[in-house]
Structure 1
Amino acid sequence: MKLGTFQAGLAAALLDLDAKVELASQPAFAVYRNTVMKGCVDALEANYPSVARLVGSDWFRAAAAVHVAARPPQDGRMLTYGAAFADFLAGFEPAGDLPYLAGVARLDRSWTQAHTAADADAIDGAWLAGLSPEALGNVRVAPHPAARWHWFPDAPIYTIWQRNRSASDSTDEIEWQGEGALLTRPRDAVIWREASLADCAFLDACARGMSLADAAVAAVTAQADADIADLLAGLLRAGALVVAPSTE
């Protein structure tokens, strides 16, 4: 048997309980298979702690095992494993009465992305303040490489997520309304805060390479009562913006 054929068969048998290969019938192989499956499930539980806290470890690990069997790791870096887990939960029938669960998973994933993103120097507000009005309107800024933002129109996903991410014991009632979230890492640690619809529209526009003036228009179009000065100040405090790379 060629090495490549053996390796492919081994990989298939490890996560396919019904695999019809000779190797899978060997008693010792079951121990190895269980160890691999446990490692994958452990990685998902570590990468999605807010989801695990919401549903409990037993429910989470049962769901994770189904996901692992369908989407095994393609990369040895288990910190990044689970890119499709939120989409999996969105279509997972046992999670049908937890419509917010996929959104919480998306924020857990965003935390990982922010944590592993490239470093960059966030914009100093003093630099923007020193620009002339004309230059300020034409300047292009971009989201920090670690910035991740989401708008959830139908549920308070951010509040649910941050309470579980920080293991809060708060019993305050959650107002059921749309919310946004911004996560970034301007320095060593990932930080997060609630984001408005205008914040998300502004960041979307900056990510598309629009000027500061056009991004402001996009924000006000999305949320008519947006205060652009406050919005920009908040994003600068969060370290969510960098100078856009030159297109010349």
Structure 2
Amino acid sequence: MLPEPSLPFAAAFAPALLDPARSTPSVVTGPNGKAAGRRYDVYRNNVTVSLIDALAAVYPAVQRITGPEFFRAMARFHVRSHPPTSPLLFEYGRDFPAFIEAYEHAQDMPWLADVARIERAWLDAYHAADAAPLSPARLSAVTPDHLADLVFVPHPAARCLRSQYAAVTIFAANRDGAPLPRIDASTPEDALITRPAFDVTVHRLPPGGAVFADGLISGLSLGEAAASALDAAAGFDIAANIAGLIEAGTFISLACGDPS
């Protein structure tokens, strides 16, 4: 069994891995103390390719939209400017959506960063802790005079994302490999990501739905979240939306305001 590398060695070895312009660190040597530039370059290339592959695994819809060649070129720039901070590959690329948003060659796809944000939320929901979702019967047992004061405890997997573009439709169309329909990308769409059991689901929310869901997930009472949603969309249907959120597994329990 090989010994673990010392911290000083690792500190000298690692910085040049993601920067091809930097020379091989002096601490890297081959047999009999000979230079090991080629060996280091092979290792450096393998690290970069592994991180690009990790991004492709997290963002398959983004890669399908751009094509593998464009995606891998964009991902390579990201890898060189954003080294990993965790040994877990699925954690890598949290800042990739923001990178896409600023990436010069993706400016003609302004919705692409939001599609990436949905994909990242999908993965985080997948790895979130398990929890039994709130039963609809639990809410129906609350008397009408206490409904406005109810506070909901969100499921660990529940996430809400808003977009100025048709990000949910674009995401869904590029995740299943089916023939792509014609999409009006300029239509704003908001997403609810949940995982009530084993499968992650992405729901497109109606007007006011994201304000409502976001409010409840962040700890607002049902009355406060409903008022915010009605300000955002005058025709907002409170009953239908709370039923939809519960059916989607957005919450696990009721907190304060529940009299029982």
TM-score by length of 2: 0.88
Coordinate RMSD, CA, aligned: 1.9
The Cα shift of 1:177 comes to 1.1
Letter in 2 for 1:151: R
1:14 aligns to what? 17
Equivalent runs, 1:110-129 vs 2, <5 Å: 110-129=121-140
Is 2:97 the partner of 1:86? yes
Letter in 1 for 2:253: V
1:220 aligns to what? 230
2:208 aligns to what? 198
**What secondary structure does 1:138 align onto?**
coil
2:68 aligns to what? 57
Equivalent runs, 1:37-186 vs 2, <5 Å: 37-153=48-164, 155-174=165-184, 176-186=186-196
Which of 199, 224, 241 aligns to 2:251? It is 241
Q: Which has the higher helix share?
A: 1
Identical-residue share of aligned pairs (%): 36
Question: How many residue pairs are counted as aligned between the two chains?
Answer: 245
Q: Do the aligned partners of 1:143 and 1:203 also contact (CA within 8 Å) in 2?
A: no
Write the distance in 1 (CA, Å) between the matches of 2:199 and 2:243: 20
Letter in 2 for 1:240: T
Q: Do the aligned partners of 1:80 and 1:112 also contact (CA within 8 Å) in 2?
A: no
Q: Do the aligned partners of 2:212 and 2:229 also contact (CA within 8 Å) in 1?
A: yes
The Cα shift of 1:143 comes to 2.6
The Cα shift of 1:12 comes to 0.5
Answer with 20-29 or 73-82: which moved more: 20-29
Which of 42, 46, 53 aligns to 1:35? It is 46
2:32 aligns to what? none
The Cα shift of 1:123 comes to 1.1
Write the distance in 2 (CA, Å) between the matches of 1:52 and 1:182: 22
Q: Do the aligned partners of 1:122 and 1:242 also contact (CA within 8 Å) in 2?
A: yes
Answer with 38-47 or 191-200: which moved more: 191-200
Letter in 1 for 2:6: L
Q: CA separation of 1:227/1:179 partners in 2, compared to 1, >3 Å: closer, same or farther?
A: same
Q: CA separation of 1:94/1:25 partners in 2, compared to 1, >3 Å: closer, same or farther?
A: farther
Answer with 65-74 or 208-217: which moved more: 208-217
Q: Do the aligned partners of 1:151 and 1:197 also contact (CA within 8 Å) in 2?
A: no
Letter in 1 for 2:196: P
Q: Do the aligned partners of 1:137 and 1:211 also contact (CA within 8 Å) in 2?
A: yes
Gaps of 5+ in 2: 29-34
Q: CA separation of 1:173/1:94 partners in 2, compared to 1, >3 Å: closer, same or farther?
A: closer
Q: CA separation of 1:176/1:142 partners in 2, compared to 1, >3 Å: closer, same or farther?
A: same
TM-score by length of 1: 0.93
1:189 aligns to what? 199
